[in-house]
Structure 1
Amino acid sequence: MSRYFFDVHDHEFSSHDDHGRECASPDRVREIALQVLCDIAREQPLKHMHSRLGAIVRDESGEVMLTATVNLATTWVGDA
């Protein structure tokens, strides 16, 4: 299995992954990237509303292999 590093960022912060995770397939890398972003958004949804929460996934050599984004938005409809 290869090791991948999941760096996370938004308009206010960034987090550099120094430990990484072993993944057996590209689909698993994609799944973890989206899970990480969804977990962060779930913990503080209002903080991340109307902003882009992103991840950059690097392999062991530091090459970017995948980018992922999650966007949260709401729109009031009617007299709300």
Structure 2
Amino acid sequence: MPHYFFDIHDHELSHQDDEGSEWPDTTSAQSQGRRLLADIARDEASRYDPLHLSVSIRDAQRRVVATCALSLASTPVG
């Protein structure tokens, strides 16, 4: 099964995944990247407005094969 690494980038830091994990294909790894972003956003949304997160997904040769990004902002009306 292919090995992928998920590097997380947010407001204050970047985390390079040195262990990685196995996923059947790039599409499955992208789905995992979106889940990671959703999980992080749940924890960070109350701390940052706007919130900008991204995940770079690398393959076993350490080449970036996909990216996922999430932006969340609120604007008062009235």
- TM-score of the aligned structures, taking structure 2 as reference length: 0.90
Q: Which runs of 5+ in 2 are unaligned?
A: none
> 1:35 corresponds to which residue?
35
Matched-pair contact (CA < 8 Å) for 2:26–2:65: no
Q: Which runs of 5+ in 1 are unaligned?
A: none
Mapped to 2, the partners of 1:13 and 1:29 lie a distance apart of: 22
Q: How many residues align?
A: 78
Mapped to 1, the partners of 2:74 and 2:7 lie a distance apart of: 26
Mapped to 2, the partners of 1:37 and 1:48 lie a distance apart of: 14
- TM-score of the aligned structures, taking structure 1 as reference length: 0.88
> 1:49 corresponds to which residue?
49
The CA RMSD over aligned residues, in Å, is: 1.2
Matched-pair contact (CA < 8 Å) for 1:49–1:71: no
Identity %: 37
